[in-house]
Amino acid sequence: MSMNSDWAGLPSELVDLILQRLASVSDYFRFGATCTAWHDVVTENINYLLSQKHPMLIVPLNTQDVWSLYSIKDNKLLPLPFQVPYVDRFVGSSNGWLVTVDDDLVVRLLNPLCLVLGKQIDHDPNIHITLPPLDPPCCVFNQIRKVILSANPTSSPDDYMIMAIFSADHHVAYIKPNRDKEWTYVNHNWGVLHDLIYYRDRYYAIDYKGEIIYFNVADRSFFKYLSINHNVDLENFEMKYLVESPIGELLLVERIKMWHWHGDVGYNNTEGAKVWNLKLASEGWEWREVKNIGDYALFVGDNNSLSVVASDFCGCQSNCIYFIDDYENLLFPSMVLENSYALKNTKDVGVYNMETRSFTSYDIAKDDVWLADTTKLRIVPSSVVYKPV
């Protein structure tokens, strides 16, 4: 075959057939990065691409501030490096975008599938969006807990909202970038908020007691509680996460952790987990325990949570919960190369099996791809794929 073959000039029908035979989302990324013509074909098939979503990790490469995607399905690092300014810290991953904040509390949205190593971050809204700084009087930088987008800024540039949990008391702030010039801060008397999710056109938060607070995006109304039937003790669990199931149910994942000390070094390890389903009963809303999640796999952590049908992805364990260490987002990515203590906090990463009720940790020394750093975010492919250069 001639080395000068015009691959970019293949008939679109043939390119479509090739695209249909690709086995994984990572193959789509590489396919779209080959040339402009193939990138356009992938873009036209974006709905199918999104239907194949699966969790990924953000991991650092050997070069400082250079990151890449790690495919759990393919069990390998993807050749898609991107660069994030060293002053930024990851505080979330939502709708396929990474959320970072810098020393001045300026919040940025970055599309990792459009960031190319060596390319300057510009003002292209498909790649990089800068928001006003978070500037509440009580906020401490390393206490910005979570940032969630209501929609993808690329597909809904005029109609998306961003909500953040911040400060020691876990207050709430929100902004609609297309019309707001600053964040709106919500002072509340709720308990400490553990998690935040955008679910069925509303934001839902959960506090340490298992109480649900919901926020109506349409009229920006707040302070509404869903009355929870407390027939179970939810307060003994250290962390709570909200995640939407593959069939659209709202699940609560509880993670119980205990401290273990080895000399002067402490490890906060996962000892167990439970899953609850939010149901509307005759007396109101209540949590119903789920003993078995079947063919689902849940991926939870304080930066983002999601669920998949495990059988759709080779290597993904069914009836299991994948946990990422909650201490990771308190650390700067640039600290990790110099500060060994940052690495010690990644001990609590692994998989909890719902059937055996056992937790299997990942060993940093044996698997430096999964656990190459303390800052990992699961992402879902956004509607803008990796562009050819």
> 360 pLDDT exceeds 60?
yes
CA distance 153 to 160: 7
CA distance 132 to 105: 8
Which of 358, 375, 374, 351 minimizes the C-alpha distance to 72? 351
Which of 89, 154, 153 minimizes the C-alpha distance to 375? 89
User: Where does residue 47 rank: exposed (0-12), middle (13-18), buried (19+ CB within 10 A)?
Assistant: exposed
215 C-beta neighbours (distance < 10 Å), count: 21
53-361 has which fold? Methylamine Dehydrogenase; Chain H (2.130.10)
Q: 40: part of which helix (H) or strand (E)?
A: helix 36-44
Please tell me the pTM assigned to this model: 0.77
CA distances from 379 to 50, 69, 195, 299 (A): 12, 9, 17, 10
% of the chain at pLDDT higher than 70: 60
pLDDT at 211 (0 to 100): 81
Q: 271: part of which helix (H) or strand (E)?
A: strand 265-281
Give all strands (DSSP E) within 40-159, no chain letters: 56-60, 66-71, 76-77, 82-83, 89-94, 97-101, 106-110, 128-133, 146-149
Alpha helices in 202-259 (DSSP H): none
Q: 29: part of which helix (H) or strand (E)?
A: helix 25-32
Q: Which pLDDT band, with edges at 50, 70 and 90, does 197 fall under?
A: very high
Domain ranges of the chain: 1-52, 53-361
CA 241 vs. chain centroid, Å, equals 12
Q: What is the DSSP string of 128-172?
A: EEEEEEP--TT--GGG--EEEESS-TTT-TTS--EEEEETTTTEE
Which of 270, 255, 271 minimizes the C-alpha distance to 346? 270
pLDDT at 375 (0 to 100): 34
Both tokens of 281, joined, read 């009963």
pLDDT at 333 (0 to 100): 31
Contact 371, 44 (CB under 8 A): no
pLDDT at 94 (0 to 100): 82
CA distance 169 to 191: 8
Q: 32: part of which helix (H) or strand (E)?
A: helix 25-32
What digits encode the pLDDT tens for the residues 150-173? 988 888 888 899 999 887 666 888
% of the chain at pLDDT higher than 90: 15
What digits encode the pLDDT tens for the residues 290-340? 999 999 999 887 777 888 888 887 678 899 998 876 644 333 232 233 332
